[in-house]
Amino acid sequence: MELSRTHHPIQVIRPQRETDRQWLLDLWNREWGGETMVSRGRVYRLEDVEAVIAVQGGAYVGAATFVVLDEECELLSLNSQVEGIGVGTRLLQAVEDAAKQAGVSRVTLITSNDNLKAMRFYQRRGYRFHAVHVGAIDEARKRKPSIPHLGLDGIPLHDEIEMRKVW
């Protein structure tokens, strides 16, 4: 289905139907190499995290997954299937709204050292660099061997970049 850049509004929903959950599972398998995510040394299973899905004109166009732990919300994944129309921004706002509703005052995320595009995206939306976890991806690869050795633009994957937004 061809998606219009102007005719259909983007809706953000929580997965409710089996088709929503299956699409999210397929997305994680395709984009993240399986049903688990390793972040800051913790392993998360898709079935144990919260999610929001972006829909435009009846088609899935993106998703974000997150967990609320203690005083923070951790954004685990953000995927936009259509760039330049606000899908990522809408999903990120939905996660931030969920964090505020849960009573936490910050959202933390991890991106890889090769993902310069993500770093720009998050900085433009108020996120700041918080820490560099040197060698964290090398350690995560021991738990999840499907993590590639080379990332975007042929940059070797080694380190996690932690970003944070506080309100």
Q: What is the pLDDT of residue 134?
A: 97
- Per-residue model confidence as pLDDT tens digits over 8-17: 899 999 999 9
Share of the chain above pLDDT 90, in %: 85
> What pTM value is reported for the model?
0.90
Query: CA dihedral in degrees (86, 48, 113, 127; nearest 10)?
Result: 50
Q: What is the pLDDT of residue 6?
A: 52
Q: How far is CA 41 from the centre of its chain?
A: 16
Maximum distance among all Cα pairs of the chain, rounded to whole angstroms: 46
Q: What is the pLDDT of residue 125?
A: 98
Dist CA 110 CA 101 (whole Å): 22
Report yes or no: 81 and 61 within 8 Å, Cβ to Cβ.
yes
Average pLDDT over residues 43-49: 94
Q: Say which residue the tokens 């929580």 belong to.
A: 14
Residue-averaged pLDDT of the chain: 93
- Per-residue model confidence as pLDDT tens digits over 76-126: 999 999 999 999 999 999 999 999 999 999 999 999 999 999 999 999 999
Measured CA angle at 35 (ends 29, 37), to 5 deg = 105
For residue 1, pLDDT beyond 80: no
Within 8 A by CB and 6+ apart from 159, the residues are 112, 113, 132, 133, 134, 135, 136, 137
